[in-house]
Amino acid sequence: EAQVTQNPRYLITVTGKKLTVTCSQNMNHEYMSWYRQDPGLGLRQIYYSMNVEVTDKGDVPEGYKVSRKEKRNFPLILESPSPNQTSLYFCASSLRPASGYTFGSGTRLTVV
Amino acid sequence: AQTVTQSQPEMSVQEAETVTLSCTYDTSESDYYLFWYKQPPSRQMILVIRQEAYKQQNATENRFSVNFQKAAKSFSLKISDSQLGDAAMYFCAYRSQPLGNQFYFGTGTSLTVIP
């Protein structure tokens, strides 16, 4: 089944403890992206990638890192999480701009 | 940066009736893509319909159709014969051309379907 898989679905962590949210797609898509969803703000783009080793900042990149060493994987790294990064996170991929993004199931992150 | 505005935080519709959700956007680009996504309580983001700006014809997908007014920068979603399963949060989204890197979402409209 064609899909975007992100893990974990739920995560509670403490301030300052490094964490990684994994994302993998099996559709050979060029584009991948990370979003955070907060009430009243919609989805905001954190980072995106057009291809392997090509990444760039979205609208809210502060406090996040990404890497794209393989086409299928695009992990999101929080080096030192803070409570204001408590949010719902989505990974997404697309073949081309016209096709829209296919989204993963989301990761609910709570930083205490 | 482009902005996408959904001015209706909440809407409701009677089952089997028609409802229209509004979306406007701001851009200086002439080529771009527009999308509507549905997010049910399961939180999964589901693509409902898409429109390419260079196409004048409005997109349709079964009971879903759009009214795309390029000059007015308006992109509304019409849901016909509303069903209980249509209850969800709906997001309008804009994707830039030609690289397609930037993808902007509105703040969403919560749709309730009344039996």
What pLDDT was estimated at residue A97?
Answer: 80
In 3D space, the residue among A13, A12, A66, A10 whose CA is nearest the CA of residue A35 turns out to be A66
Q: Would you call B91 and A101 a contact, using CB atoms and an 8 Å cutoff?
A: no
Task: Report residue A47: phi and psi, to 5°.
Answer: -145, 155
A 3-42: CB under 8 A from B: 31, 33, 35, 40-42
Residue B103 has pLDDT above 70, yes or no: yes
What pLDDT was estimated at residue B2?
Answer: 73
What pLDDT was estimated at residue B70?
Answer: 95
Query: In 3-state terms, what secondary structure has residue A92?
Result: strand
Task: Report d(CA B74, CA B72) in Å as an integer.
Answer: 5
Classify the C-alpha dihedral A64-A68-A69-A72 as positive or negative: positive
Residue of A35, A42, A48 with shortest CB distance to B101: A48
Q: What is the pLDDT of residues A60-92, one digit of tens each?
A: 999 999 999 999 999 999 999 999 999 999 999
pLDDT band at B1 (very low <50, low <70, confident <90, very high): low
